[in-house]
């Protein structure tokens, strides 16, 4: 700012000096000099106030990260192009808006541990460097999950081999990133909708204690990392009861669990606010932090009228199921805005119990909900539109900050 002012001073006064020389002997020298002087002052004032207000808008970029920094971390899921900062708009927006990131895919087993003795750490290492560069906390996702497993182990018959992969995987990956990532989703989606254990290769080959064992191994490998259980629909009473039982079992075994992640893939027109509130209260009563880890509010119809975010669920495309391909009508935009507003009111009410709110993606164009559970739809679930512009829902959320 001062540099800019100095520059303009020099231009104006330099101009004046030149005129001074030419007019040195003129009778009207003093009159004109005064005129120039006054003009100079006026120009400087305009520039000064102009620059000051421009600077004000720059330094006052409205940011989720800043607005909620006293209460909880605000995160987003990021993809490879974003980690590598190849996506220019995202490269600017992410560090400005978010204080936490979750890798959308690159720390899943099929990517990071594709063969018995092969680990691909390159992208996860880049992610760690990215977090350091922008002072962004990393929630690593995820150690043990039935989906996105490497091909060679997906159909493993032998229980000992599964156990070996399970143990090696947790030990190797969790210890490498201990102290480098802030937290781990140690186990993802181990429950069915009725609260029983999900039928997966881990349940089948290792038995129902595999969740406790995963946390025990993670605790040994990553003593400096927060350890979480993560799932969708665990705000629903039956599944919530299953999750509470699972967490109590881990605690009863003397194993550390620091938090629970409620994914939060809800529909904008059907948010289970009461269940969410009860869940925050009940989970935090177990002495752990509550996180909302994959928040997005879909606006499209669901083929099964369900909130289950099971990645294996798939349905056929039809134009009827893609009603907003040419833009979101105001009525739905309003619902989305109200949905986010209601949710953040609730989050703020329980800010002492909540550690982080993470959106599943940066902008609408990058959301997995454009391709799940039906490929090729146009969804609008996040706070930034396809051009990275904040949506009315963003403004509504920011306004709630006290």
Binding site for ligand XIL (CB under 6 A): 104-105, 188, 263, 294, 309, 311, 368
Cβ density class 8-45: b for 16+ within 10 Å, e for less? beeebeeeeeeeeeebeeeeeeeeeeeebeeebeeeee
Nearer to ligand XIL, 81 or 351 (CB): 81
What is the closest distance, in whole angstroms, from the C-beta atom of residue 142 to ligand XIL in the complex? 6
Residue 282 annotated to the active site? no
Residue 294 annotated to the active site? yes
For 186, the token pair is 């140690």
For 259, the token pair is 């938090």
CA distance 227 to 225: 6
Choose the catalytic residue: 104, 213, 235, 294. Answer: 294
Nearer to ligand XIL, 283 or 368 (CB): 368
Handedness of CA 94, 98, 99, 103 (dihedral sign): negative
Peptide bond into 289 cis (omega under 30): no
What is the closest distance, in whole angstroms, from the C-beta atom of residue 105 to ligand XIL in the complex? 5
Nearer to ligand XIL, 294 or 364 (CB): 294
Block residue for tokens 């938090």: 259
What is the closest distance, in whole angstroms, from the C-beta atom of residue 79 to ligand XIL in the complex? 7
Helices (H) and strands (E) in the chain, counts: 15, 9
Nearer to ligand XIL, 12 or 300 (CB): 300
DSSP-derived secondary structure for 303-353: TTS-----TT------GGG-TTTT---HHHHHHHHHHHHHHHHHHHHTTTT
Choose the catalytic residue: 104, 189, 213, 235. Answer: 189
Residue 51's Cβ-count burial label (10 Å; 0-12, 13-18, 19+) is middle
- Per DSSP (E only), the strands in 47-151 are 73-78, 100-103, 137-144
What is the closest distance, in whole angstroms, from the C-beta atom of residue 234 to ligand XIL in the complex? 12
What is the closest distance, in whole angstroms, from the C-beta atom of residue 104 to ligand XIL in the complex? 5
Nearer to ligand XIL, 143 or 309 (CB): 309
**Torsion from C-alpha of 319, 324, 327, 329, nearest 10 degrees:** 140
Find how far residue 290's CA is from the centre of its chain: 15
CA distance 388 to 318: 28
What is the closest distance, in whole angstroms, from the C-beta atom of residue 123 to ligand XIL in the complex? 14
Nearer to ligand XIL, 383 or 396 (CB): 383
Q: Which residues are catalytic?
A: 189, 294
């Amino acid at each position: 700012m001062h540099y800019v002012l100095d520059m303009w001073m020099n231009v104006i006064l330099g101009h004046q000096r030149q005129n001074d020389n030419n007019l040195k002997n003129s009778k009207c020298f003093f009159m004109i000099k005064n005129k120039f002087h006054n003009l100079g002052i006026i120009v400087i004032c305009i520039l000064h106030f102009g620059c000051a207000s421009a600077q004000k808008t720059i330094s006052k970029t409205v940011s989720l990260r800043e607005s909620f920094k006293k209460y909880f971390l605000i995160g987003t899921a990021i993809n490879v192009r974003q980690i590598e900062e190849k996506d220019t708009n995202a490269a600017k927006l992410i560090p400005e808006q978010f204080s936490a990131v979750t890798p959308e895919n690159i720390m899943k087993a099929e990517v990071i541990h594709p063969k018995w003795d092969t680990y691909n750490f390159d992208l996860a290492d880049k992610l760690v460097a990215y977090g350091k560069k922008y002072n962004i906390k990393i929630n690593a996702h995820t150690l043990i999950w039935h989906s996105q497993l490497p091909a060679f182990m997906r159909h493993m018959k032998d229980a000992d081999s599964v156990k070996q992969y399970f143990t090696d995987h947790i030990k190797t990956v969790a210890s490498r990133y201990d102290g480098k990532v802030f937290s781990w989703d140690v186990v993802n989606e181990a429950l069915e909708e009725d609260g029983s254990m999900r039928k997966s290769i881990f349940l089948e080959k290792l038995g129902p204690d595999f969740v406790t064992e995963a946390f025990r191994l993670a605790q040994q490998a990553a003593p400096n990392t927060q350890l979480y259980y993560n799932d969708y629909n665990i705000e629903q009473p039956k599944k919530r009861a299953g999750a509470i039982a699972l967490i109590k079992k881990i605690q009863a075994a003397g194993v550390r669990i620091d938090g629970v992640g409620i994914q939060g893939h809800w529909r904008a027109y059907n948010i289970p606010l009461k269940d969410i509130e009860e869940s925050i209260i009940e989970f935090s009563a177990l002495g752990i932090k509550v996180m909302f880890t994959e928040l997005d509010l879909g606006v499209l119809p669901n083929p099964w009228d369900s909130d289950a975010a099971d990645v294996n669920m798939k349905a056929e495309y039809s134009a009827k199921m893609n009603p907003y391909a040419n833009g979101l009508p105001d009525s739905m935009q309003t619902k989305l805005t109200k949905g986010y507003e209601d949710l953040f009111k609730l989050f703020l009410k329980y800010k002492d119990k909540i550690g982080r709110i993470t959106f599943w993606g940066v902008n609408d164009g990058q959301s997995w909900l454009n391709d799940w559970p039906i490929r090729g739809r146009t969804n609008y679930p996040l706070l930034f539109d396809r051009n990275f512009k904040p949506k009315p829902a963003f403004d509504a959320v920011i306004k709630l900050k006290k």
